[in-house]
Chains A and B, each alone.
Chain A
Amino acid sequence: MGAFLALCFAAPYVLEYGPTDIVASPLQPPDGRHWLGTNELGQDLLIRVLMGGRNSVAVGLLGAGLATLIGTVLGMISGYFGGRIDQVLSRVVDVVIAVPVFPLLIILSAYYSLSLYALGLIMGVVGWCSCARIVRAQSLSLSEWPFVQGVRAMGASHFYILCRYILPFVIPLSMVKFIFALQGYLLMGVGLGFIGLGDAQTIDWGWILNHAFTSGGLSMGCWWWFLAPVGAIVVTSLSIAMIGYSLEQRQDPLSGGRFRWTLV
């Protein structure tokens, strides 16, 4: 999976032609020269898939990264300080968590033409809540432990405690959330592209699939138009999920995890 990702990112620098260049005769099935064949415009499909990979994964990364970051920070603050701050933030979470992300994206991209980054941004801004809740729970219980109270009594500032005492125990939870969010948002981005919304300028796997359908690929029997992007999506999505599960397992002390970040 790492190799695949690396390939996606390195592609434009390595390959001779870009995704939109028309390089060969159209509608060719995979052969020695063009490993995944070409589409009806003569664009090499392999390159399109690779470049598309960059964009799809980028959306996922941006969305998940932003969501995890916001969620972790707000969760820590909410759990550690408690009181009024916690009450206000919890109510905010209660409202935001009810917002359905995918339909929101559909509506917004139907009205405005959103760039890839805007998509990622919106995902991040709306999807931080579940991470925040988990982080809040952990921070809340941590702030009651004697070693945190002891260092407070010693005169440590709140910032110091949050960074050195709460954050190290919260990061493993956030990491797992990040990985699964990455998978989720990747698929969401692909889904948007597939139904024709999302950024028309940048290619991503959803768009490639969409293109394949709208250009009549089914009727023409160009199976390679579908196999490539679908294969890429499935492989990437599964690999991310596997990474997520193994991370989760590593942390869990009950299943013999090695990462003993948790306290019990």
Chain B
Amino acid sequence: MFEMHNVHKVFYQGQVLRRKRYVVHGATLSVEPGETLGLIGPSGAGKSTIGKLAVRLLEPSEGRLAFEGQDITHADRRTSRRLKAKMQIIFQDPQSSLHPRKKIGDLLREPLRLHRLISRSEEQEVVKRMLAQVGLNEEVLDRFPAEISGGEKQRIIIARVMALRPKFVVLDEPTSMLDVSIQANILHLLVTLQQKWNMGYLYISHDMRLVAKLCQRVAVVAKGRIVEQGPVDEIMARPRHPCTKRLVAAGGL
């Protein structure tokens, strides 16, 4: 469903010399509907960059991106907009992922209005359903993000993202800023929704245990390159690359 083929991302350093720095080098991966591909590596390896490239928040310097068979690397504006509804991203820090001056109700209505999915009169109904889906009740609608807890904020973000019924979602360490028990709740919610709508997830993490629990396949990233890729059980049992070995070992702490 989603494919990334030999994608490179270059950042230029310096004003005069403009040295090239490859942040992502030759990333190739694919995600099928209903499956979760884990993306794991030490910090600074480029995992978040790959995630942003996948949803085209960053433009790849080289390489090809394909969604449902179509090449989307250089999609025009109208196609891009349609695609944006189908390919979404959830970030790590719920605190900074919501506009602090907007009420929760407005934040939930925003994706609906951006894509003009429904009429104004239906908005109320749909927002209630969105809240029910993520297990929150209506009293949060009038609050501001600063007034609700981290776990609740992340649920609102999930509700916003899911309102567009995406087919592919990049999850960039969505629970690393949350407490242990809230983490379990949120991940449980994400898995439930995935099964309901058969979405493909790209789950980025630096914690091998979470990846082992949630993903069917995993890709290991080190210094911008994908060094190992395969079914999660195999990688855990027989890690080959030294970086993978380190990650598997650290998972036990």
Bound complex: CA A261 to CA B110 (Å): 21
A154 to B96, Cβ gap below 8 A?
no
For A153, list chain B residues within 8 Å (CB): 55, 57, 84, 87-89
B114 to A146, Cβ gap below 8 A?
no
Contact of B84 among A147, A155, A168, A263 (CB under 8 A): A155
For B110, list chain A residues within 8 Å (CB): 151, 154
A147 to B101, Cβ gap below 8 A?
no
Q: Which residue of B lies closest to A164 (CB)?
A: B99
B157 to A155, Cβ gap below 8 A?
no
B115 to A149, Cβ gap below 8 A?
no
Q: Which residue of B lies closest to A155 (CB)?
A: B84
B99 to A160, Cβ gap below 8 A?
no
Q: Quick one: given A149-B57, A165-B99, A263-B100, are A154 and B111 in contact (CB under 8 Å)?
A: yes
B97 to A150, Cβ gap below 8 A?
yes
Check: B193 CB closer than 8 A to any chain A CB: no
Q: Which residue of B lies closest to A160 (CB)?
A: B114
Bound complex: CA A18 to CA B97 (Å): 59
Q: CB within 8 Å of B: which of A144-174?
A: 145-147, 149-156, 160, 164-165, 168
Q: CB within 8 Å of A: which of B77-99?
A: 80-81, 84-85, 87-89, 91-93, 96-99
Check: B164 CB closer than 8 A to any chain A CB: yes
Contact of A147 among B55, B97, B114 (CB under 8 A): B97
A155 to B81, Cβ gap below 8 A?
yes
The number of residues on chain B lying at the interface, defined by a beta carbon within 8 Å of a beta carbon of chain A, is 27
Contact with A along B122-161 (1 / 0, CB 8 A): 0000000000000000000000000000000000010011
**How many A residues are at the interface, by size bracket?**
10 to 19
For B89, list chain A residues within 8 Å (CB): 149-150, 153
Bound complex: CA A146 to CA B51 (Å): 13
B91 to A146, Cβ gap below 8 A?
yes
Q: Which residue of B lies closest to A145 (CB)?
A: B96
What's the minimum C-beta distance from B112 to chain A, rounded to whole angstroms? 10
B101 to A154, Cβ gap below 8 A?
no
Bound complex: CA A261 to CA B100 (Å): 9
Instruction: Give the most central of A154, A164, A261: most B CB within 10 Å.
Output: A154
Bound complex: CA A151 to CA B93 (Å): 15
Q: Which residue of B lies closest to A149 (CB)?
A: B57
What's the minimum C-beta distance from B28 to chain A, rounded to whole angstroms? 22
For B85, list chain A residues within 8 Å (CB): 154-155
Q: Quick one: given A154-B88, A155-B115, are A147 and B99 in contact (CB under 8 Å)?
A: yes
Contact of A156 among B114, B161, B164 (CB under 8 A): B114
Q: CB within 8 Å of A: which of B52-79?
A: 52, 55, 57
Bound complex: CA A62 to CA B141 (Å): 42
For B164, list chain A residues within 8 Å (CB): 154
Bound complex: CA A153 to CA B98 (Å): 13
For A168, list chain B residues within 8 Å (CB): 101
For B160, list chain A residues within 8 Å (CB): 154
Q: CB within 8 Å of A: which of B218-240?
A: none
A154 to B93, Cβ gap below 8 A?
no
What's the minimum C-beta distance from B50 to chain A, rounded to whole angstroms? 14
For B57, list chain A residues within 8 Å (CB): 149, 152-153
What's the minimum C-beta distance from A87 to chain B, rounded to whole angstroms? 9
Bound complex: CA A147 to CA B114 (Å): 15
Q: Which residue of B lies closest to A87 (CB)?
A: B15
A147 to B88, Cβ gap below 8 A?
no
For A150, list chain B residues within 8 Å (CB): 89, 91, 97, 157
For B80, list chain A residues within 8 Å (CB): 155
B84 to A154, Cβ gap below 8 A?
yes
For A165, list chain B residues within 8 Å (CB): 99
What's the minimum C-beta distance from A90 to chain B, rounded to whole angstroms? 11
What's the minimum C-beta distance from A84 to chain B, rounded to whole angstroms? 12
Bound complex: CA A165 to CA B85 (Å): 19
Bound complex: CA A147 to CA B153 (Å): 12
Bound complex: CA A168 to CA B91 (Å): 23
What's the minimum C-beta distance from B216 to chain A, rounded to whole angstroms? 24
What's the minimum C-beta distance from A230 to chain B, rounded to whole angstroms? 44
B97 to A146, Cβ gap below 8 A?
yes
The 6 closest A-B pairs by CB, nearest first: A155-B84, A146-B91, A146-B97, A146-B96, A153-B89, A155-B81
A-B contacts besides A147-B96, A151-B110, A152-B57, 15 pairs, CB < 8 Å: A146-B93, A146-B96, A146-B97, A147-B98, A149-B57, A151-B99, A151-B114, A154-B84, A154-B88, A155-B80, A155-B81, A155-B85, A160-B114, A261-B101, A263-B96
- A-B contacts, 13 of them at CB < 8 A, read A146-B93, A147-B100, A149-B52, A150-B157, A151-B99, A151-B114, A153-B88, A153-B89, A154-B85, A154-B110, A154-B161, A155-B81, A168-B101
